[in-house]
Every structure is written in structure tokens, then in C-alpha cells.
Structure 1
Amino acid sequence: MSCRRATGSQDKHKDGNKITCAAKEWSNNRRWSYLIEDADNMCYAVGGCAGAGPAATYVAAALQFFAASQCLLQESYPRQAHVTNGSHYDFIVVGGGTAGSALAARLAEENRFSVLLLEAGPNPPEESIVPGLRETLKETPYDWNFTTIDDGVTSQALASHVQRQPRGKMLGGSGSLNDMVYARGHPEDYYEWADIAGDVWNWTNVLDYFKRTEHMTDSNIIRNKELMRYHGIGGAIEVSGAHYPHSPNSKLMQAFQELGFAAVDDMTYPYKIGVGKFSHTIRDGRRDSSLTAMLNKVKSGKLHVLRNTFATKILFEGNKAVGVQADSEGRNLFVYAKHEVIVSAGTFNTPKLLLLSGVGPSDILNQFDIDVVQDLPVGQGLQDHVMVLNFMTAERGTCKLSESDGYFNVIKYLYNGSGTLSYSDSIGAYLPQKDKEAHVPYFAIYPSCIPAGQMTSNQCVRGIGFTSEICEKLQKENEMHELIVAAVVLLKPQSRGNVTLKSLNPDDDPAIYSGTFDDEADIEGFPDAIEKAVSLVNTTHFKKLGARVVDLTPESCRGLQEPQRTRCSVRALALAAWHAVGTARLGAVLDAELRVRGLEGLRVADASVMPTMVRGNTNAPVVMIAEIAADFIKNQYRDK
């Protein structure tokens, strides 16, 4: 998509930088047609989408009209590098997602280092910038579209009996399509990491790295000195709040408070839990990520970014990683690293690349006739938050968005970057574990609201992954009534899955075995957590609207008595919360400084390194990991 500045044609935006262009070529009509057709996918069900549903359709269509005269969504991505076979760099970073973008940006700050960043996908499309369109890129070419392997036991009420695992296949990775929630987990998570991998990973130390990247602007937080002890000002990524007292989520907040949840101003504050609105990585109505806020700001000529380039093998000389073999738009490319190859390809692609390169369990490598470079438990230890969606139906009065409201918000966004498309208003409610510390969350409830007439069965199947039978039932319920969705999420699972190879073909997806409920202890708390979530129907607001619970109990569970009936349903309806970690974990595959054990010149920095799951979204912790990795590397090669 190209855009040129028109002579004498420049309008003022609220930040003074908006440029109006006389002409602009809109060359991606097929992609936008696809977006318009499927813009109403089921984002509501996994945390809510301010301005999604019909507004997504409106904005997609309107943008085609306005794009001819406005460069509203222009972003200055790094230019494509010219890389020849046999080229040498100080560092090669594999994967330009959240971790890779942050790490490459930090290394490029050192003018003495040359850095090559390899990304399998292209630049993000324009709609990735709009917060209200954050769900529209899933199940598109910008998504790896991973799914788990059917284990025959769990998730049997999902289409094809598999859990969807969307991951960004573009510069910025999943940070270009996620919900932008700023969460860190809990201090207990990092003390656990320190016990496993060394004191550098304790809460006190990682907090400094969280604060380093953060620019907190949430007004409810910056006014509070106690809360600001845990936040940074002046970092690269803005962490902002959206406080709209008449939004649907405000009514949900009030209902949870009626149920006894304390109101919380800062959902990252480690010593109080309850219900509150999350802060988000949004700046001036646009997604703010390690890509937009860090990589795109690099001025050094030592940074080289090569898109549409998929790493297929790490090259070794003895036990030292010396380079990478990659498919670069059909060209077989060999590039070499003087110091290190750093793998930041994500929880699923990192173990796949390591295994294809001979780093992993020897029995797996022998099975595929791969020469063993280093015998390590790569791919083992997969964890993810487990999510069960609960639906309640109610008369209109909580989340209604009229057609005129949708159009008006499109106009507001295109005019000055404001309105419901410019922010996210997601909320959460945390529950502690019984007989444990009251400030340590165990389950989370993420509520959202679907306006009447918004859901179709096809959108439900594609957006959530339920079977067509369940989705048809939800569509019927939604024809005349609003749906209140309560996603109940286990924050600290004990179960473990694994990621391995399907074949020797690098183009084949990895085999993902979720391991959901392999440890029966993980299912124990769900009945109580679900009962608490659906008790929303008994609050004052929802009683007035005649709210009731939609029974999605699978047929195979209907003959059972409680609580076995709920446990059976939970097993069948279990979804991944898209926070997978742990497949190249600290303490097992990596040493304390993220170096692959027993090898030289090879390091990993992404969500796969987490030795245990954190109690929250994983994007901010991944940026923190990249920040720490950058310091490890700079210190190691300070005089080289």
C-alpha cells in the first residue's frame, strides 16, 4: 500500500502529525473484501471488542473510501533488507514478533553490532493498527492458524475436537493481532522462576525491566503514588486506560461488585485483586507494540530486516551455532552469525526449528533420522491457560450498539482517531484459590457482551471453534436477546503438553498436544468458578433484564449429577486462552541467561522460555524477557 504526500495538503490531527494525501492506491481489495465478509467474528467471546461486530464491517468499507484521500493508518515499518547468500552479521534474530522486534531494536542501539532480523510474514495490514479491529486478522494469511491434535478426551465439543491457537504471521507477530491487554502475572510467578532458573528472574529484578519499557498514562493509576511504585514513565510502549462510565463493561463491573468483588484501579497491582478494567498498549487511538514503539523507531543502519523469510534450519559447526538456512520468498538463503543466533519464533515455531536443527530429545530426533546436535527436552513442558466460555441471555439494555452509533464511531475514528474503535475496554475479575493467600489470583473471569442479532453460526464456529450444533443454539438465543459471555480461565494450570514434529518438511505445522487436564487437579476449581461467573444473572441489573444461563451441556454429560456434570462439560468445552509457553524453558533447555545448554552461539528469547505459566496475559512478560536478553547479550559481548 503506497501513500505520497500531496503538495500543500496537510491537515492537523490531535498530535499534529496527520497527513492528508491527494492520491493513494488501494491495491488489496481482495483482502478487504474478505475482511468485510468476516469482520463480525466472535471476538466478544474472548474478552470483548469495543466497536467490533457491525462497526468492523462499517470501518472496513469506509476505509476504502477514505483511503483515497487520507493516510490515516500509515506506519513507518523498516525497509526490506537486501541480503545475499553467505552474508555475515554479528547477530541473527529468528522471528520478528513481540520478542524479536524488541530484542533486535535493543541490539541495534549498539552501533557496533550488525543485526539481521528474519520474519516469516509481511508487514502487518492497516487494520492491525485499529484497536477496534483487533480480532479481524485471526484465520487470515496473517495468522499461522495453528490447531492442537485431537486427544480423544478433551475439547470434544469443539469443531474437529481441536483447540485453535492463533499466532501472528507478520512483523510484530502476535503483538500485531492480540487484545493489547497489559498484564504481568503475579510476583509469586517470578519467585517460582527464580527457584528454577536463578535469582535474576525474581520479581524485584523483572519489575525493573517491566518499568523500563513502560510509559504509563492511565489516569486512574498515575494519580496514585502507591500504584505508581510499580510502573514506569518514559518507556517506549504506552500503557493507557479507557474510562467510559456508560460503556457495557461498566454495567458488568457494577454487577461483579454486587457479587462481592472489590473494585480495583490497577489490574497489575500485586496486593489487591477484584474486578477492574485493564490497561492496554494503545497510543493516540493506535496499537502500540514492540514493533510500532521500538523496532519502527530504530535509526541505526546496522539493523537489517528481512520479511517473508522463514528459517528452516540452524547451522552448526561442532557445538556452535554459526548461521541459519531460510526460505526467502522461494530462495534458499544461507546467512551467518559472528556471535549468536537468537531464536524468537514463539512457543510453537521455536521448538519446531530447534528440533529440525538437531536440538531436542534424542528419541524424537532419531525417530525422524535427524542427527542429534544436543539432547535436550525441547518441546516438552507446554502450558496454556484453560478457558471455558459461559453464556447468559438477557433482554436488551447492556450492550446495544445501534447502526447509527456504528457509523458515527467510524466517522469519529477516521476524522481524528477517537471513538469506540480507538480503544479497548476489556475487564476482568480475579478469584483467589481457597485456603490460599487472598491476593494471589487462581481463576479469572473475563466478561463481555454480544448485542442482539450479532452472532451467526458460521462466525461462532470460526471465531470460537465450537461445533455447529452449539453455535446454532447460540445464534438462536442471540436473535432477539443479548448474550453475556463469561470466560472462566484457569490461571495456574499444572497440566503439561508438548510440541513436536509432524514431518521433516519445515512447511508443515508443528504437532501440538495441549495436555489439557492431564493433571486432574486443574479441573477441580472450575465448578465453583463457573458458579460464581453465572451468578451474574442474580444481580439487580440482570434480574431486571430477565437474564438466564444458556445450557451448553454436551449430550454426553447430560445423564450425570452435579458436580460431575459440570466437570464433564468443562472437559468437553475447554478452549486454549492463547497464552502458550514453556517449550524451550529456563532450567531445562536454557541456562539462566537464555543460552541453550551445552551449545555455543545459540540463545532463545520468547514465550517458550517461561519455565512456568504466569497468572495473566503473556505479551508484556515477553517484552520483559527480550529486555533482559538484550542486557545479557550486551554484557557478554561488551568488549568484542
Structure 2
Amino acid sequence: MLDGSCTGGGAAGATFTAALQFFAASQCLLNEPWPQHSTVLNESTFDFIVVGGGTAGSTLAARLSELNGVKVLLVEAGGNPPQESIIPGYKSTLKASRFDWNFTTVNDNFSSQALQDGSQRQPRGKMLGGSGSLNDMVYARGFPVDYNEWGDIVGEEWNWNNVLKYFKKTEHLTDERIINDPELNKYHGFDGAIEVSGLNESTYTTDRFLEAFEQLGFPLVKDMTYPETIGAGRFSHTIKDGKRDSSLTALLNKAATRDNLFVLKEALVAKVFIENNTASGVKVIVDEEEFYYYANKEVILSTGTFNTPKLLLLSGVGPKGHLDELEIDVKQDLPVGENLHDHIMVLTYIAAGNGTCNSDERSVYMDAMKYLYDGSGSLSRTTDVGVYVSLNDSNNNNVPDFAIYPTCMPQDSGFYESCLNVLGFRQEICEKLSIENKHKELLSLAVVCLKPKSRGRVRLKSTHYLDEPVIYSGTFSNLDDLEGFPKVMETAWAIANTSYFQAKNAYVIHIEVEECKGLEGRSKTKCVAKTTAMSAWHSVGTAAMGTVVDSELRVKGIKGLRVVDASVMPNIIRGNSNAPVVMIAEKAADYIKHSLEST
């Protein structure tokens, strides 16, 4: 989920650096035991090669290394995350940095025309932990109906009842709002590796947002993952002792001490070797030098929704027509790269008098020192509030169609640079918002379509492994996705009319775009939604179960090749994708372990 504020600028900044230096001699808070880079001889052989050390790859490599007598190679294109990656309050500083793949979409001359070049930013982590090292740490799962849809496509092992135990397996719930409620507890795990935390105490900002949405008729819920009731509430987060917790910090860091796990960093996989319909190994580029590594059992791709199809296509697995165009030898004709879809997000803004944003957010220097002293303060927190919205025509009022994610930006927060470089709005929009922010606080309300019908695709630009994949977002290619936006945007704007924000003289900032001039009412709102739409950074589906991989995530028609990441989702879930990707990796680990037992 994107918070819409992004007050960082690609690095933690001089203030944090000064505080860090001040405390460096006495504080160990920011030290993380990242996996050591392994020395691996060219043409070495392993049982399993896991390509990509992100959320899924970190989970899977750690689980496979638990097996006796098995050698595992994990290959990651990036290096270690920087120190600020583990600080929740700096969650946005790594986007649009060298730790980000910095993918962008192709201008379709239809949607997103209020963004620079009509192109959507697609931040993806290029480091150990992948996007799990730069996301908002929100713990969400989607809803039972999402997984029951998967079950209908590929088999009941992917329905809600059968995936829930895998969510529980990795979860170590410590959220004070949930742990003492027996009804909520039955959906959670308490012995897993990744902490899912939350506090009873709330910030002033959070309380004001929740009061406003309660006035608008939304029930307040204690647990945003609870499948029986939706409304407004505070998310749980993968945060432990004030620091980011992830499959990297909780699983891979510990597993990397085992003798049978080898981790290559700054190493880019350029191709999977496939002969006689069997994957046998990978070509890896390190400092422009080629290395060849071989797998006795499986090559597993965990490089994400954009890089996984790219690597499959480069290796000859994909649509025959596209591969023929690039003169790539076709190993298997499959719809790789199709079915790309994402939550569609439209950012809306309200200006209000000062006093709503957390006061300590303005005292950055003191807050940095407080954080380094005991891991507390605003830097130990991240995006908090969410609102799930079910439209009147929904088949089930407890299943959301949209979400609203509100955040508060203090006066003069330095929003302009991140508006340009992270969100990617055109200059005139960023200037208008920044002028408002000079004298007012900005309330950003992200309005997100959770179950879009639109589909895009991923293609190769060329056969060169360094060229970025070509990403066609397909946003609003199915116009049904536009229909709900006016109503939900009006709901978001309505908080300006609630009692507290009226007292703050709040008013809606209407983003004016050339394409919508002359339109009025909901027609104009719909137009603004279409032109300002962007990704919520949860893209899925490009190597989907049922079409590209089977129910055990094995690539169809190719032995020894499996995909384990968000690209295997046949349909997107109604929520943030990090926890579901961990769940997918846990299931994959069990599939692989069972396959070893049966041979």
C-alpha cells in the first residue's frame, strides 16, 4: 500500500545521519546480521537454486535449508539493505533510489495522463528482502472469497481453509488489540518467525481519522484481517522492537548461518538453462563476468511480477508469437506475462489547519535520537489507518470493493520532491499541492480499487538481460473499474465535513487536469480518477496458477522449474500482498518437501 505522503527523499537525510553518528559508539539498534556473501566456484552444482532473495525467495531458501543433505543456492541481484530500511518511519526513503528497480509502465495514452509521460512508477526492492525491505509493513491477507476463487481455478488446496494454516505458520502475533480476544485469535498464529505487532495506544492523528470515518457510518474494527466484519481500523504491522520484521530479518538472516545455504549478492540471473523440457541451471552475471550454476532438483524463480516473466521469456518460456519476434528458441508456449493486474489507486487531498499530524513528526532531529536511544517515537511506526468499503451492489457486505488509506502530512513537509520522483505526478500538480502544504497540513486519502477487472501484460524489450521489462499496465482497460471511484472519492472527501475537520477549516483540493476541463459532477470525478490513477504497488498474475504454473507452482511442461512469488496469483487479493506472498512460499516449501519424500 502506498501512503501518498512519501516525505522521505531517497535517503534518510542529514538529520538522521547526524543523530546516527552521535549514537554510533554506544548503540547497536541498527545492526542487522545480513547473510554473508558466499564464495561459489563457477559450474558448481546444488540441489536447489532459488533466484531472487525477496519476500518469497528469502522464505523459501530458509525453509529449504532446514532439510538435511540438501544444498541451496540463493541468487540476489541486489545487495544488503541500507541501515535505514529497518526503520519504519523511513519506509519511503528507499523508493526511487538505487535500492529500487525503478520500473515504469508504458504510456497507453488513455489512463494516468496526469502522471509524467503518462507512466506509472512501479517501485520494487532491489536488495535482500526485495520489496519486503521497502514496503509499509502492513499485515493484510485479503479475504476468504479471494482464496476460494483460487481454489475454483486450481484446486481446493488454495481455498481459504487450506491457506489459513500457512498464514498462521509464519505469524507471531503480539498485537495488543487482538491477543486477548478469543474470536479474533482463532485466525492468528503465535509461534511463527515474523512478528505481527500493534499497540492499544493510538496516535492523535489516528484517533481523529477514525472518529471522522465513524461519523461517516463506518464501524470500527479491532482487527483489519478479521474476515467477518469490515470497516475502519488500525492495521497490524510486521514490526519487532521498533524495527522492520520480514522474511529476510526473521528467516533468512538466521538460516544463512547453515552450511548448506549459499547466498550470492549483486548477482543477476540472465537465463535459465532448459534442455529436453527440463531446467538444469542458470547463467549468472557478476561484475560483467558469466558464471554457470546447476541444479540437481529444481530451479525456483522468485523474482517478482515483472522480473519473473522477463526471465521466463529470456529462457524460452512464453507466448510463441512474442518469442518468435525476438528469435528466442521456444521451449514452452505459455501465456507468460499475461494477466498483469494491480490495485488501482487514485490519490485525493484535503487541506486543513495545523494540529492533526503527530507533533513529533516535526521534530525530526529529536525523534531520530529518541529512536536510536530506545526504538520508540514516530520513527518506530508506519501507515496505520485503513477503511474497507463495500459498495451497495456488492454481493457480500463483508467483502470490500475499495479501500481508503488516509495519512497526514505536516505543514511544509517537503512533499514536492517525492510528489515528482516517487508518485510521478506532473509538475503543475506537485506545485499546487506544495503551495497548499506551505501553510496547511495535507490529508492524503488514497482511494484504491481492490478487485480490478482490467488486465495488462509484461513483454521483453529485447533479448539483452539488462533491458527492463516492458510493462503495459492495462489500467482501466475494463471500464467497469472506473464506476465505483466517484462514490468512494466522495466518501473520502466527506471527512472534511466531519466535526473535527470542520473545526480545522478543512477543504478538498481538487486536482485540475487539462483532460477533464468542461466536465462536471461525477463525470469530472471519473475523468480525474482515470487521469491520475497509479499503481498501489501490488502487481500480480504474470505467471498465474492455472495457465503458466500448476497448483504446486510448477511451470507447465518444464520439469524442475517452479515459480514462487506474487506472479503466480491468478487473481489479486483484497489487501496488501506481502503476507500472502510469504504464505505462498510456505506452501511451496511444503510441496517441495513432500516431492522429496515421495522420490
**Which TM-score applies when normalising by structure 2?**
0.97
Which residue identity does 2:500 align to in structure 1?
H
Once the 2 structures are TM-superposed, how far is the Cα of residue 464 of structure 1 from its aligned partner? 1.4
Listed as ranges, the matches of 1:91-130 within 5 Å are 91-130=48-87
Residue of 277, 281, 300 corresponding to 2:238 = 281
- Counterpart in 2 of 1:428? 386
Q: Does 1:510 find its partner at 2:472?
A: no
Q: Judge conservation of contact 1:94–1:117 (CA < 8 Å) in 2.
A: yes
- Counterpart in 1 of 2:210? 253
Listed as ranges, the matches of 1:155-554 within 5 Å are 155-298=112-255, 299-399=257-357, 401=359, 405-435=363-393, 436-554=395-513
- Counterpart in 2 of 1:4? none
Cα distance in 2 for residues equivalent to 1:552 and 1:194:
41
TM-aligned CA distance change 1:52 to 1:243, over 3 Å: farther
Unaligned ranges ≥5, structure 2: none
Cα distance in 2 for residues equivalent to 1:408 and 1:253:
28
Once the 2 structures are TM-superposed, how far is the Cα of residue 57 of structure 1 from its aligned partner? 5.2
Cα distance in 2 for residues equivalent to 1:148 and 1:53:
21
Cα distance in 2 for residues equivalent to 1:300 and 1:253:
46
Once the 2 structures are TM-superposed, how far is the Cα of residue 266 of structure 1 from its aligned partner? 0.2
Once the 2 structures are TM-superposed, how far is the Cα of residue 505 of structure 1 from its aligned partner? 0.8
What is the SS of the residue equivalent to 1:174?
Answer: helix
Which residue identity does 2:98 align to in structure 1?
P
Which residue identity does 1:573 align to in structure 2?
T
Which residue identity does 2:596 align to in structure 1?
Y
Unaligned ranges ≥5, structure 1: 1-41
Cα distance in 1 for residues equivalent to 2:205 and 2:361:
16
Cα distance in 1 for residues equivalent to 2:268 and 2:164:
33
Q: Which moved more, 1:425-434 or 1:403-412?
A: 403-412
Once the 2 structures are TM-superposed, how far is the Cα of residue 416 of structure 1 from its aligned partner? 1.4
Once the 2 structures are TM-superposed, how far is the Cα of residue 261 of structure 1 from its aligned partner? 0.6
Which residue identity does 2:242 align to in structure 1?
G
Q: Judge conservation of contact 2:58–2:129 (CA < 8 Å) in 1.
A: yes
Once the 2 structures are TM-superposed, how far is the Cα of residue 406 of structure 1 from its aligned partner? 2.7
Which residue identity does 2:287 align to in structure 1?
E
Once the 2 structures are TM-superposed, how far is the Cα of residue 462 of structure 1 from its aligned partner? 1.1
Cα distance in 2 for residues equivalent to 1:360 and 1:618:
25
What CA deviation, in whole Å up to 9, does each residue of 1:355-398 have, x standing for no partner? 00000000000000000000000000001000000001111121
Cα distance in 2 for residues equivalent to 1:271 and 1:403:
35
Which residue identity does 1:602 align to in structure 2?
L
- Counterpart in 2 of 1:29? none
Once the 2 structures are TM-superposed, how far is the Cα of residue 195 of structure 1 from its aligned partner? 0.5
Cα distance in 2 for residues equivalent to 1:524 and 1:431:
14
Cα distance in 1 for residues equivalent to 2:42 and 2:347:
50
Residue of 521, 530, 537 corresponding to 1:562 = 521
What is the SS of the residue equivalent to 1:91?
Answer: strand
Q: Judge conservation of contact 2:176–2:199 (CA < 8 Å) in 1.
A: no
Cα distance in 2 for residues equivalent to 1:186 and 1:315:
38
What is the SS of the residue equivalent to 1:332?
Answer: strand
What CA deviation, in whole Å up to 9, does each residue of 1:14-60 have, x standing for no partner? xxxxxxxxxxxxxxxxxxxxxxxxxxxx97516x78x9999965323
Cα distance in 2 for residues equivalent to 1:463 and 1:558:
26
- Counterpart in 2 of 1:8? none
Cα distance in 1 for residues equivalent to 2:9 and 2:214:
26
Cα distance in 1 for residues equivalent to 2:361 and 2:595:
58
Q: Judge conservation of contact 1:44–1:449 (CA < 8 Å) in 2.
A: no
Once the 2 structures are TM-superposed, how far is the Cα of residue 410 of structure 1 from its aligned partner? 1.5
Q: Judge conservation of contact 2:279–2:298 (CA < 8 Å) in 1.
A: yes
What is the SS of the residue equivalent to 1:370?
Answer: coil
Cα distance in 2 for residues equivalent to 1:82 and 1:213:
30
Q: Judge conservation of contact 1:517–1:571 (CA < 8 Å) in 2.
A: yes
What is the SS of the residue equivalent to 2:113?
Answer: coil
Q: Does 1:77 find its partner at 2:34?
A: yes
What is the SS of the residue equivalent to 1:152?
Answer: coil
Once the 2 structures are TM-superposed, how far is the Cα of residue 456 of structure 1 from its aligned partner? 4.3
TM-aligned CA distance change 1:610 to 1:214, over 3 Å: same
Once the 2 structures are TM-superposed, how far is the Cα of residue 247 of structure 1 from its aligned partner? 2.8
Q: Judge conservation of contact 1:56–1:133 (CA < 8 Å) in 2.
A: no
Structure 1 vs Structure 2 CA RMSD: 1.8
- Counterpart in 2 of 1:62? 19
**Which TM-score applies when normalising by structure 1?**
0.91
Cα distance in 1 for residues equivalent to 2:199 and 2:382:
7
Once the 2 structures are TM-superposed, how far is the Cα of residue 562 of structure 1 from its aligned partner? 2.2
Q: Does 1:628 find its partner at 2:592?
A: no
Cα distance in 1 for residues equivalent to 2:11 and 2:584:
38
What is the SS of the residue equivalent to 2:214?
Answer: helix
Q: Which moved more, 1:58-67 or 1:192-201?
A: 58-67
Q: Which moved more, 1:396-405 or 1:366-375?
A: 396-405
What is the SS of the residue equivalent to 1:252?
Answer: helix
- Counterpart in 2 of 1:585? 544
- Counterpart in 1 of 2:108? 151
What is the SS of the residue equivalent to 1:382?
Answer: coil
Cα distance in 2 for residues equivalent to 1:260 and 1:133:
33
- Counterpart in 2 of 1:11? none
Q: Judge conservation of contact 1:594–1:609 (CA < 8 Å) in 2.
A: yes
Cα distance in 2 for residues equivalent to 1:249 and 1:413:
20
Q: Which moved more, 1:622-631 or 1:455-464?
A: 455-464
Cα distance in 1 for residues equivalent to 2:350 and 2:380:
28
What is the SS of the residue equivalent to 1:220?
Answer: coil
Cα distance in 2 for residues equivalent to 1:622 and 1:167:
14
Q: Judge conservation of contact 1:315–1:323 (CA < 8 Å) in 2.
A: yes
What is the SS of the residue equivalent to 1:380?
Answer: coil
TM-aligned CA distance change 1:130 to 1:400, over 3 Å: closer
TM-aligned CA distance change 1:149 to 1:248, over 3 Å: same
What CA deviation, in whole Å up to 9, does each residue of 1:332-351 have, x standing for no partner? 01000000000000000000
What is the SS of the residue equivalent to 2:237?
Answer: coil
Count of residue pairs brought into register by the alignment: 597
Once the 2 structures are TM-superposed, how far is the Cα of residue 567 of structure 1 from its aligned partner? 1.1
Q: Judge conservation of contact 1:56–1:132 (CA < 8 Å) in 2.
A: no
Cα distance in 2 for residues equivalent to 1:330 and 1:155:
37
